[in-house]
Amino acid sequence: MSMRTIRILLVEDDEHIANTVKAFLADAGYAVDLCMNGDEAHAKFYDNTYQLVILDVMLPGMSGHELLREFRKLNNTPILMMTALSDEENQIRAFDEQADDYVTKPFKIRLLLKRVEALLRRSGALAKEILCGKLRLLPEDFRAIYEDTELSLTVKEFEIILLLAKNRDKTLTHEAILTRVWGYDFDGDGGAVHTHIKNLRAKMPENIIKTVRGVGYRLEELAE
């Protein structure tokens, strides 16, 4: 995935800070969606795929902590908290709720950009390929290679295996996969995920997609 395709959700209700951060992120090559209240951010996150979220705590509508908990129910998208609340209690709370980093205002914009870059690099979003044991994914080319065999996948099949690979330490629910791959407003066949998982398994030399009964799917621990 090249930097030009990386999308960031910026949630900040201070207009000056929001516009400044958005401008610097855009200059750095990122595509940025800006939301200035929590309810709008909640809808935006469910309707789109982001590689990073920058999230203020004190917001109109849903708070940053509420959004963080909701986002974590869906996936492991890196979340950087950006807030004026610099006390230890709020920072500990954010990390307990699985925030990935925490920046307090005021901050240096160049430092913020470096933290963004570090989170994207750690998550694999800046990588041209993602390795999961025997499985190698090349997001830019929609290619999946298992050992020495290139898999012939449809776009949706590739998006599912990529989503599972990026969240390989987490079980993704049927609803989460449906939302992230087909979109929040998808009103088609509810069995779409099951059908595509079945087709994926049939195309792989080994079954590495584990069904967690009553919950969803995850990748098995893959040996190199």
The model's pLDDT over 114-125, given as tens digits with 9 standing for 90+, comes to 999 999 988 877
Q: Does residue 95 form part of some domain?
A: yes
pLDDT at 88: 85
**Which residue, of 106, 123, 140, is where some domain finishes?**
123
Residue 110 has pLDDT above 60, yes or no: yes
The answer to whether residues 105 and 158 belong to one domain is no
Instruction: Say whether 41 sits in a helix, a strand or coil.
Output: helix
Mean pLDDT of the chain: 87
Q: Please state, in angstroms and rounded to a whole number, the distance separating the CA atoms of residues 51 and 7.
A: 6
Q: Which domain holds residue 161?
A: 130-219
Closest CA to 181 of 39, 41, 48: 48
Q: How many helices (H) and strands (E) does the chain have?
A: 8, 12
- Residues 6 or more apart whose CB falls under 8 angstroms from that of 154 comprise 196, 199
SS3 at position 80:
strand
Nearest 5°: CA angle at 4, between 129 and 12?
A: 110
224 in a structural domain:
no
Has residue 72 been placed in a domain? yes
Most distant CA pair in the chain: distance in Å? Answer: 53
Kind of pairing, strands 7-11 and 52-55? parallel
Strands 143-146 and 135-138: antiparallel
pTM: 0.64
Q: Is the pLDDT of residue 224 over 60?
A: no
